[in-house]
Every structure is written in structure tokens, then in C-alpha cells.
A and B are shown apart, each in its own frame.
Chain A
Amino acid sequence: MSEQPVFDVPFSTTSFVMGVLSSHKKVISFERSRDVVFDILRVPPLSEVRAVLTDIYTIGLADLLDAIKKVPGVSCVITGGDWNGYTVEAKDYALQNKIGLFTTSEFFGALWWTNLHEYHKKDDEGRPIYHYKSA
């Protein structure tokens, strides 16, 4: 596999993610390659995760498909920073294809879930909250 970075992500963001992974209770270990690809071994019976970190302000369908193409076997696409987000179309595609599409804080929550891609926060009435970008 090429060691060229897959996406241009500030080191501060990458460093933050590595720091949280290092102390995450469901993470046994992780390996980082191509700058922003993380192969994560989780506590059994939770499955292994291949995540790619981006710094895209709004991940649309095109960027999601680009990430999937660039990182074979990817199970999770993350956009760094909680000011970032994704579109409804991208999230729908990700859910249909069992791929996680998350902001960083969502990702850290998703690592607790068996079906990682289904993770979502909930509002007071139990309805899913997604980090959709909207006016």
C-alpha cells in the first residue's frame, strides 16, 4: 500500500484522534498508515475498524465515495472537528453500505457500538441526531 497521505489533515487533528484512541476503553491497539488511516483493534467481541480521517468541511456523496475508493476496506469515514459535518445523501449512502460517517466526537461514541455504522446521538425523545450540515 502506498504511504502517500490519503487526505490533507492538520497534525493537531490527527494528534487529537490518536490521543483519544490511546485511552479509549474499547480500543486495544491501533496502527496508523498513510497519515490518516487507522486500523483499530477493539475489545472482543467488537469488530476491527478501518477508519480514515479527513478534514472536509462538509462531506457530500462525492467525497464519501472518494474516501471509499482511496481506502479499500474502509469501515468508517470521519471528518475532523465538530464544526464539520455531512449531507443527508452521504449519510444515507453510508448507512445503506454499512459504513460509518461521523464527526470525531460521533466516531469516539461509535467505537462502543457493535454495529458501528449505526451509531447516532439521540435527542430527548430518543430520535437520532445526525451532524447534517444545513443553513
Chain B
Amino acid sequence: MNITRKTMKDVPSIITSPPDGAKVFVFGSATRSSRPSDLDVLVVYDSAKLPADTVCKHMEEFFAGLESATGLKVHAVLLTRSEEGQTQFIVAERAIPLELFWERTVLAKRRFYR
């Protein structure tokens, strides 16, 4: 996902650096509400790089950083690529890449505080 150079500096590094093999998306109320109560996150992972029996542990630090950066409690769904393909989760839940979510949030706040 492309982030404009202007907003890139506002993106905490934790958001642009999930564990190798993981792609992070946001879905649920945080994508629609300006005052979400939590952050629903989808992680689609490559089980060759992040085995299913350790991916939860690998993601802990990332989720903690995400909670710190957003101030929101993270609720995560972790799916292998094949599980995502089977469930079509991204399409069904209208999930958007985390970087895009962050960019929209930053831009929205800028508009709000202008």
C-alpha cells in the first residue's frame, strides 16, 4: 500500500513493520466511526514464514505497539492465506490495509482540527 510522503512521517514505525510474512488489515467499527471503542484487526500470514503454532506469539509485540499508537484495544483475527481465501474475509468485512487506515485517520484528524 502506498502512503504519501507527506503522511509517512506521521506513521509510527510499528505500523509499517509487522513481522515478516504478515499483512495487517483493519475492519469493523474503526473503519466507519470517528470514535471507535476498539480496533478489529485481521492478520493474514504466510505459514511458511510464520508457523501457525507461533504466529500469535510473534504478533504480541506488534499488537502492543498498535494499541499504544492508537490508544485502542486490539481484537485480532489471524488467518493463513488459504483461510483468508476460503473465508474471503477481506472482501466480506471490507477490511482495509492498516497503512491506509492510518493515513485516513491522520488525514481525518487534520481536517477536524483545521
Contacts and interface: CB of A to CB of B under 8 A. Distances in A.
24 contacts: A8-B73, A8-B75, A56-B77, A57-B75, A57-B77, A58-B87, A58-B89, A60-B77, A60-B79, A61-B52, A61-B80, A62-B45, A62-B53, A62-B56, A63-B77, A63-B78, A69-B53, A87-B83, A133-B87, A133-B89, A134-B92, A135-B87, A135-B89, A135-B91
A134 B53 CA distance: 23
A58 B77 CA distance: 6
Main secondary structure, interface of A, reads: mixed
Name the interface size band of chain A: 20 to 34
Contacts of A56: 75, 77
Interface string A78-104: 000000000111100000000000000
Of B40, B78, B88, the most chain A CB neighbours within 10 A belong to: B78
Interface of B: 40, 45, 52-53, 55-56, 73, 75, 77-80, 82-83, 86-89, 91-92
Nearest to B58: A62
Main secondary structure, interface of B, reads: mixed
A20 interface: no
A37 B100 CA distance: 37
Contact of A89 (B45, B77, B83): B83
B75 A134 contact: no
A105 to B, nearest CB: 20
Contact of B52 (A57, A65, A132, A135): A65
Nearest to A66: B56
Given A62-B45, A62-B52, A65-B52, A87 B87 contact: yes
A56 to B, nearest CB: 7
B19 to A, nearest CB: 12
A69 B88 CA distance: 27
